[in-house]
Amino acid sequence: MVAIISGDVEDKGPVVLAVTVSMIAASTLFVFLRLASRIGIVKKVSADDYCIAVAWTFAFGLSFSICYGTKLGLGAHKSDIPSSWQSSLAYSEYAFTVLYVCFTETPV
């Protein structure tokens, strides 16, 4: 799953993309099933369900920015990334860094 793009330097972008997509897909399934059971079976939605939905939204944003970054060279060696992609990749890296730090390092 790791591609070699120049010489012996590995491109880890495909692995990053596969892990990110599989994790957001799994979390989407579990959040959907929880909300469906709370709404359809229990017929009661509480504050924790809203918190889960908000957290999933931020997780989706984080996953999207990582997936977008892999299309711009995230996971590849810096010398193999075209210079025209550098600024877009930097914005993507900034976006997922902000989302990661703000929502994982926040004390509860």
Residue 40 is given by DSSP the state: I
> Measured in whole angstroms, how far is the alpha carbon of residue 86 from the centre of its chain?
20
Question: pLDDT-based confidence at 102, cuts 50/70/90?
Answer: confident
Q: And the tokens for 108? A: 């509860």
Q: Do residues 1 and 15 lie in contact, with contact meaning Cβ atoms separated by under 8 Å?
A: yes
* pLDDT the model gives residue 81: 86
Report pLDDT digits (tens) over 12-58.
999 999 999 999 999 999 999 999 999 999 999 999 999 999 999 99
Residue 42 is given by DSSP the state: I
Report pLDDT digits (tens) over 69-84.
999 988 888 888 888 9
Say yes or no to pLDDT of 103 above 80: no
DSSP-derived 3-state class of residue 73: coil
Rounded Cα gap, residues 21 and 31, in angstroms:
15
